[in-house]
Amino acid sequence: MMTGAKGMASSSSTYNPPCAACKFLRRKCTAGCIFSGYFPPEEPQKFANVHKIFGASNVAKLLNDLLPHQRDDAVQSLAYEAEARVRDPVYGCVGAISFLQRQVDRLQKELDAANADLIRLAAASSPSVHMPPPPPHQRPAEFGRRFGNDGGGGGRFYQTPGYQITYNASPWADIYNPHGGGFDGNI
């Protein structure tokens, strides 16, 4: 077998194509690339959107501040928000929040009215029986004050969010649940 003076370099057994980020940025995708693994080369639009809205530098800083097991969810949420902002440059995904908040307010009012009717019926049929009031409804603390009930598109976003949204599971199950509605508000 003929070998060159420097010897034949053994090729690596695996070839890792550059990630979509490095392809977009036209740079060498190194082994320690922060984007590799989260922006596969077969999804170029994902990084293109994220780069357009957030910028590669900001995304890299954000990912570096997170623990490794949090980065995948962070990238997915950034990609979702970026796509929403590309589709709707004025409101982005905040439009969806406003829409959902109005739906929640409407449903809450209907539920309160139905419970009030139930109490009235119970009182009418058994005047001596005292019906306890229905349990107080729970609502996200800041959304109602922030978005209001005027039904206007977008609402006002002047207040600082002070809420703590708690959820036990990844939110992706709810986002993609067909019964919960999609981003564009189709319920």
Partner 1 sequence: MRSTHQEPRSSSSCAACKFLKRRCTPNCQFAPYFRSDEPKKFAKVHKVFGASNVSKILNEVAEEQREDTVNSLVYEAEVRLQDPVYGCIGAIASLQHRMVELQHDLLLARARLACSAAAAAASAAAVGFVVFGSFCSDAGDWRRRRWRRCGGGV
Q: Which of 40, 104, 144, 148 binds partner 1 (CB under 8 A)?
A: 104
Cβ count near 112 (within 10 Å)? 12
Task: Report the alpha-carbon distance of residue 89 to residue 13 in Å, rounded.
Answer: 45
Task: Report the alpha-carbon distance of residue 126 to residue 130 in Å, rounded.
Answer: 8
The binding track of 111-150 with respect to partner 1, each residue x by CB under 8 A or -, is x--xx-xx--xx-xx-------------xx--x-------
Distances (CA, A) of 118 to 11, 81, 107: 76, 42, 16
Tokens of 7: 């010897």
The binding track of 49-78 with respect to partner 1, each residue x by CB under 8 A or -, is ---xxxx-xx---x--xx---x--xx-xxx
**C-alpha closest to that of 61 among 79, 83, 34:** 34
User: Looking at beta carbons, which pairs linking 116-124 to residues 24 or more positions away fall under 8 Å?
Assistant: none
Cβ proximity to partner 1: between 16 and 107 the closer is: 107
**48 binds partner 1 per the rule CB under 8 A:** no
Residues that bind partner 1 (CB under 8 A): 52-55, 57-58, 62, 65-66, 70, 73-74, 76-78, 80-81, 85, 89-97, 100-101, 103-104, 107-108, 110-111, 114-115, 117-118, 121-122, 124-125, 139-140, 143, 154, 156-158, 160-161, 165, 167, 171-172, 174-175, 177, 179-181, 183, 187
